[in-house]
């Protein structure tokens, strides 16, 4: 039986934080032996908000070096930057004619990002989910490892695939499903547990970056906002305390423990003691990735070779899908 196809992407719009790592990249690594995996550094998505060209180039290498340091094997996976495979943009146009304006108007991420400044946002930011659908459908991916914030975009990709298949009476595009990492579907900000941990939060203390030094990690964890009670003794009391619940989730994913096991281990202990242990396990998890990625980052020609080979392999699949899609639509 042929392996199922996995596709996912990460924007090179800044360094990777532990939300990106646990929500997405760690899952990418878990899939690489059992699935046919295609992972893209989605630079076309990144420019929906202005990027400094030099920084963008730098960030593409940066994200790739973190992928590799986290354990992604470039021989087992197709790894490339999105703009090298022009079929992504082409399919986005074709699917843009299937997607409905009303569907895009429902996208909460767009609304959250632009707030009251809708008129000055780029058109690309608005049509972003169509490009994301194209990324996935181009490779007929069945499974898409992502964090919870991408769930609505995945639903839109399914709607587009389904409408296309219905409109042209074909069974062509597969309907992709999101795959989430149980305790890391949404790692929250360390400053305000109502918001997800995000690259764009103004406070550096809201997130732990893969490349943070050990001292920075300790400082951020010890300063993480919590209440002043003892550690919770069961799931219900943990769930009613969002800040501590978030830290318990992070501890659990770092140690591959169930949430119940983490709660039992620290029940009724002091939060400060828990935080010390938490900083240790975060450091143990990300220090090797951080060190290794810094080494890999220096070898630009090695990184460029990986992107070149990855793009060639991706293009082979993508160009076939475009040819078939055009045929279905009635183009020569
Ligand atoms: P991006 O670059 O914002 O984030 C990369 C991945 O990290 C996940 N993530 C999180 N997971 C848990 N907790 C968090 N706080 C957290 N923050 C981010 C995201 O869900 C994502 O999986 N639109 C995508 C990129 C993309 C894509 C695709 C993904 C483009 N095309 C096709 C899947 C399939 C994005 O902006 O990810």
Q: Which domains does the chain have, with CATH numbers?
A: 5-184+299-329 (3.40.50.620), 204-293 (1.10.240.10)
Alpha-carbon distance of 146 to 25, in angstroms, equals 9
What does pTM read for this prediction?
A: 0.97
Give the number of the atom of ligand 1 that is nearest the alpha carbon of residue 141: 34
What pLDDT does 15 receive? 85
Structure tokens of 265?
């281990």
Task: Retrieve residue 274's tokens.
Answer: 């828990």
Q: Give yes or no for residue 154 having a pLDDT over 80.
A: yes
Q: What is the mean pLDDT of residues 220-225?
A: 98
Closest residue (by CA) to atom 16 of ligand 1? 19
The pLDDT value recorded for residue 291 is 97
Beta strand 177-179 with 143-145 is: parallel
Q: Which two tokens stand for residue 313?
A: 């392999």
pLDDT value at residue 332:
83
Q: What does DSSP say about strands 5-10 and 36-41: parallel, antiparallel, or unpaired?
A: parallel
Return d(Cα 187, Cα 121) in angstroms, integer: 27
- Report how far ligand 1's centroid is from the alpha carbon of 147 (Å): 6
Which residue has its alpha carbon closest to ligand 1 atom 34?
8
- Hey, how many other C-beta atoms are within 10 angstroms of the C-beta on 314? 25
**pLDDT tens, residue by residue, 179-215:** 999 889 999 999 999 999 999 899 999 999 999 999 9
Q: Is 24 in the pocket of ligand 1 (CB under 6 A)?
A: yes
Element containing residue 41 per DSSP (H, E): strand 36-41
């Amino acid at each position: 039986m042929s392996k199922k196809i996995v596709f996912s992407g990460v924007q090179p719009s800044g360094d990777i934080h532990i939300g990106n790592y646990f929500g997405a990249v760690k899952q990418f690594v878990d899939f690489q032996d059992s699935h046919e995996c295609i992972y893209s550094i989605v630079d076309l998505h990144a420019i929906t908000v202005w990027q400094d060209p030099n920084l963008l180039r730098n960030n593409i290498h940066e994200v790739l070096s973190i992928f590799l340091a986290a354990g992604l094997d470039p021989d087992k996976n197709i790894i490339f930057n999105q703009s090298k495979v022009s079929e992504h943009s082409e399919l986005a146009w074709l699917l843009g004619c299937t997607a409905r304006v009303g569907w895009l108007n429902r996208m909460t991420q767009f609304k959250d990002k632009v707030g009251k400044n809708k008129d000055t946002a780029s058109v690309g930011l608005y049509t972003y989910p169509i490009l994301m659908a194209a990324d996935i459908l181009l490779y007929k991916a069945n499974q898409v490892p992502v964090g919870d914030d991408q769930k609505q975009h995945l639903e839109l990709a399914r709607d587009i695939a389904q409408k296309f298949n219905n409109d042209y009476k074909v069974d062509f595009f597969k309907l992709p499903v999101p795959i989430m990492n149980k305790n890391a579907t949404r790692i929250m900000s360390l400053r305000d547990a109502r918001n997800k941990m995000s690259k764009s939060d103004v406070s550096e203390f809201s997130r732990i970056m893969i490349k943070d030094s050990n001292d920075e990690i300790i400082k951020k964890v010890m300063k993480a906002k919590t209440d002043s009670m003892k550690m919770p003794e069961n799931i219900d009391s943990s769930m009613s305390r969002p800040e501590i619940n978030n830290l318990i989730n992070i501890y659990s994913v770092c140690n591959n423990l169930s949430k119940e096991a983490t709660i039992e281990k620290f029940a009724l202990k002091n939060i400060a003691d828990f935080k010390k242990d938490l900083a240790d396990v975060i450091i143990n998890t990300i220090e090797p990735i951080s060190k290794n990625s810094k080494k890999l980052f220096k070898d630009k020609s090695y990184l460029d070779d990986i992107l070149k080979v990855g793009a060639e392999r991706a293009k082979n699949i993508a160009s076939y899908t475009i040819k078939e899609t055009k045929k279905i639509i009635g183009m020569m």
